A and B are shown apart, each in its own frame.
Chain A
Amino acid sequence: MRDKIKNYFLSLLSEDMAKQARRVELLTIIVFFFLLFTVWSLWNYKIELTAPSDGGRVVIAKMNIFELLLSKK
């Protein structure tokens, strides 16, 4: 395992830096789109805020995580 990690690290170092940078750019763009998708999913996912009451937990509000984080209430 240790050798595998070492070899992987060495192969990263021996790569042409310009090519490697280009690959990092492409990967980042893919991750960026994945992030956008995650944000879009979270935006559409409504969290139910509940509070304990005599009849069990009741829903007091529905909002996405971003609204929740910036909520003043």
Chain B
Amino acid sequence: MNSKLRTLANYLKLLLPYWDKSLLSLLSVALSVVFGMAAPLITKILIDYVYPNKDLNLLTLLVLFGILIFIFDTYFSDVSSYLDTYIHQTLSIDLRKKFFTKLLRIPLGFFYEKQVGDIMVRITDDIDTIVDLAAEVIPVIIKTFLRLVSLFVICLLIDRNLTLLALLGIPLYFIETRFFARLYEDIQNKTQKQESEIYSFYQEKMSNIKTIKSFNQEIHETGRLIDKLLKMFTLVRENLFLGLFNSFFDAALITLWTSFLGWYAGYRVITGHITIGEIMAILVYLGQIHQPFMDFGAIYKSAVRSSVSINRINEIMGANPEVYQDARTFVLYEIEGKVRFDKVGFHYPDSEEYILKNISLTATPGEITAIRGASGAGESTIIDLILRFIIPTEGEIYIDNYNLKDISLMTLRANISIVSQDVVIFSGTVRENLQYGCINPSEEKMIEAAQMAEIHDFINTMQNGYDTKIGEGGIGLSGGQLQRLSIARALLRNVKILVLDEATSALDAISESKIYNNLKKLALDKTMILISHRLSTLKNADKIYVISENHISESGSFDHLLGEKGEFYEFYKASTGKKEVELAEEIEIKHKVTKREKEKEKAKKALKLSPLEKRVLEMYYEEGLAYAKIAKELGLNPYDVNLIRKAANEKLKRLKELEIED
């Protein structure tokens, strides 16, 4: 309980910025309570003095006094409501901001264990409950307390015996309230969990509506929802019954108690201890005592509900956030972009089973590095590791020569662009989506990125071009268009490390080839990491790492891996549907072609003209000089100049032949 009170105290601290308004609201509440006490006292004077003595002047004065009290009461009561609402609303915004900021900074691992609906309930219902407690219940407690104290003070002044007897009933009421509150806490817990489950259910089904429809599961899913709603209904009914029992016992206790007090008050009048006016006033006050006690009961239940919410919110507020930047972290300013995994292993904290084990790989700037594995082999985990969504269980990851653990998270992610297989487009315009996360984007760069992603022409065909609304509430896009948009968004950030996770899976071969041709030009000063199962994509890579059973089984160029006749060869065979003999021929041809290309490359290098040869040709053909003049200028003899010219011509002729062959 102490920890709960501490937590509650922490949340009450949230009220500190509004101390002036809170204080004024409490003062207004206190005044309103005092004014509310006046009416029975006026009635008492009227009955005991004004009417028997026929004092018309005092009657007029008391009526005017009553009107004055009413005006002040209404004003201060309204001011209190206004200020409470103001505090409630602003506090709600503050707390939601704090919670949302924290939520976005929690490591990704936290979200793997939680359902989206559950988090949604925490953002909405749980925060509301806490805000209600902090902003509204405190004034109600004070108001109730003040009302009770005022009632008892006035009652004590009127009749001490009757009031002291009335006080004896309070402990009984608290015992009864506490008994029900304990039962209520348990039901409240279950209800909030069930609410989260229903939210998650809606969220999941709405996100996967296509799958539900395509499997004809509409009726089945409705049935599942009804099951959950019925469970909720049972809990609501439990809540209702408990509430009814509670109200019944409340009312019975208070009725019995006030009846007894009423009888005793009558007895005091009959025996001449108090006047009729006094008993009228005291009975009105005792009638009013009922309300504060009911309020206390409601507050207690609200506090119980809040304590459940506080625990749920605390789970998130207390979670360790990702360390974005501190004195120990390196700030990545200008990097080359080399990514190196050194014997990296990873498994989730709640499991012993490794997702990745002993992974060592290097993605070099200027090259396209591909990672290929069977579904669920852990390739996407590699991306999560690079972006430090998760931390390696063993081994180290380096960007250039900086250990990933020591890099400022903010600058790490600022240097990496990712195109994920699940394309996320936010509701907004094409421009807003392209410029997402981009600092000072220019129009030209945006268009250039869109052109590289082969989406610029399509955007121009849209009604408002780059200002067309897309996503939720906007026009729908095909899978391929979404992927191209996502690629353009990643390219616009102009970072050193570009990760493409099945980024072109929804594109046709021609579009894919065009995009990769564009990307290859970009890759000259970037590190590009591809994750793909598609042969057409993997062909673009300079180096391929094959992940099998959580470790790297093969690595090398496309042709090299085919030659190895390992897992990649099997994958190639299965993907192309070619027979062993055909593949052997194809590999043979590929090897020959590669060998030939290498030889050509070598020959071309050998046939490169030297500066002297270039100069001789220039002077002979362009400037039209004779051998003697060239020889004189270059310090050679004319015979050598002739030999050089012939050799250079021979080289050029051979180069031309090689180019024709290409």
Contacts and interface: CB of A to CB of B under 8 A. Distances in A.
Contact of A24 (B38, B58, B82): B82
B79 A52 contact: no
A31 B157 contact: no
A44 B634 CA distance: 123
Interface in A31-73: 31-32, 35, 38, 42, 47, 49-52, 65, 68-70, 72
Interface in B81-96: 82-83, 86, 89-90
Given A24-B79, A47-B58, A65 B65 contact: yes
A38 B64 CA distance: 13
B21 A35 contact: no
Contacts of B42: 69
A60 B625 CA distance: 143
Nearest to B40: A69
A42 B64 CA distance: 12
Contacts of A69: 38, 41-42, 44-45
Interface stretch (B49-57, B109-117, B206-214, B333-341): B49-57
Contacts of A29: 24
A51 B53 contact: yes
Size band of the interface chain A makes with B? 20 to 34
Q: Is the interface of A mostly helix, strand, loop or mixed?
A: helix
Interface string B67-89: 01000100110010011001001
B294 interface: no
A28 interface: yes
B53 A70 contact: no
Contact of A49 (B27, B28, B44, B55): B55
Contacts of B31: 32, 35
A35 B76 CA distance: 11
Given A52-B53, A70-B41, A31 B75 contact: yes
A72 B158 contact: yes
Contacts, number: 53
B86 A49 contact: no
B21 to A, nearest CB: 7
Contact of B157 (A24, A47, A72): A72
Contacts of B76: 28, 31
B61 interface: yes
Contacts of B89: 17
A72 B158 CA distance: 7
B53 A21 contact: no
Interface string A11-25: 000000100010011
Given A49-B55, A69-B42, A72-B158, A28 B21 contact: no
Contacts of A52: 53-54
Contact of A25 (B21, B154, B157, B158): B21
A40 to B, nearest CB: 14
A31 B24 CA distance: 12
Nearest to A35: B72
Contacts of A24: 79, 82-83
A69 B83 CA distance: 31
Contacts of B27: 32
Given A49-B49, A52-B54, A65-B65, A21 B41 contact: no
B86 A21 contact: yes
A33 to B, nearest CB: 12
B157 A21 contact: no
13 contacts: A28-B76, A28-B79, A29-B24, A31-B75, A32-B27, A35-B31, A38-B68, A47-B58, A49-B55, A49-B58, A69-B41, A70-B157, A72-B157
Given A31-B72, A70-B157, A72-B158, 11 more contacts: A17-B90, A25-B21, A25-B83, A28-B76, A28-B79, A35-B72, A47-B58, A49-B53, A49-B58, A69-B41, A70-B154
Interface of B: 20-21, 24, 27-28, 31, 38, 41-42, 44-45, 49, 53-55, 57-58, 61, 65, 68, 72, 75-76, 79, 82-83, 86, 89-90, 154, 157-158
